[in-house]
Amino acid sequence: MPGTYGDALTENIANGLGFKGVRGTGSLSSTWVLGGADSTLAKGYDAFNILSQGVVPNYQNLSYQQMRNRVSQDVFKNALWGRPIGYFWHVNELRPDEVENFMDALVQGGATLESNTQMVNFLLSCQANDVAPPGYVSGSYYACPSSGIEADFRPTVNSPVRDVGANLGAEYQYDLLGINQNSYGAGSEIGAYAYVPENFSAMH
């Protein structure tokens, strides 16, 4: 979308011109409220509003290792949330060696590199969710099956959330896995999961 203005108006214009998908906004504000890429992906991903990340200024003038670190963090977060993303830059915004480093870092970080068309076609091959907010293109939201290892958010022995949460009483004593917060440790955990000592993990 020009100027990253992805909203109901621009989505419908693109749809009317025959486009099946568009690389859209550069932020994760809620599509339903402010315009932008969906912030939770709970409804699926909007093929007419694929997140578009420019390199200015966050990827400019970085050292070799700084670029590697930044791209590695991006790949991890986008893979974790199952979020497709398009990167873009204009001529001379990155030096040739920076482009090479950037692309190598994506590949070595495990990213799958695709063109805009390939990304849109991939999303369109997934499960469609026809529930769209008023004014937006119906049927443009898609959810793809997950792949890879599911992320484990349970606290470990060194987690800063362990034993430092407030005891909110019996109503909140069980975590998402049904583990009683009072079973292990000196206090409650902050977050959705209770800490379980490693030697007991297989029992739960």
- Give the chain as a 3 state SS string: CHHHCCCHHHHHHHHHCCCCCCECCCCCCCCCCCCCCCCCCCCCEECCCEEEEECCCCCCCCCHHHHHHHHHHHHHHHHHHCCCEEEECCCCCCCHHHHHHHHHHHHHCCCCCCCHHHHHHHHHCCEEECCCCCCCCCCCEEECCCCCCCCCCCCCCCCCCCCCECCCCHHHCECCCCCECCCCCCCECCCCCCCCCHHHHHHC
Domain range for 28: 2-143
Same domain, residue pair 134 and 169: no
pLDDT, one tens digit per residue, over 59-70 is 999 999 999 999
Domain count, the chain: 2
pLDDT, one tens digit per residue, over 159-193 is 999 999 998 898 889 998 999 988 888 889 999 99
pLDDT tens for the chain, residues 1 to 204? 776 777 888 889 999 999 999 988 776 655 555 555 555 677 788 898 888 888 889 999 999 999 999 999 999 988 888 888 889 899 999 999 999 999 999 999 999 999 999 999 999 999 988 777 778 888 888 888 887 777 788 999 999 999 999 988 988 899 989 999 888 888 899 999 999 987 654 444
pTM for this predicted structure = 0.70
What percentage of the chain has pLDDT greater than the value 70? 89
Same domain, residue pair 187 and 139: no
- Of 120, 143, 166, the position where a domain reaches its end is 143
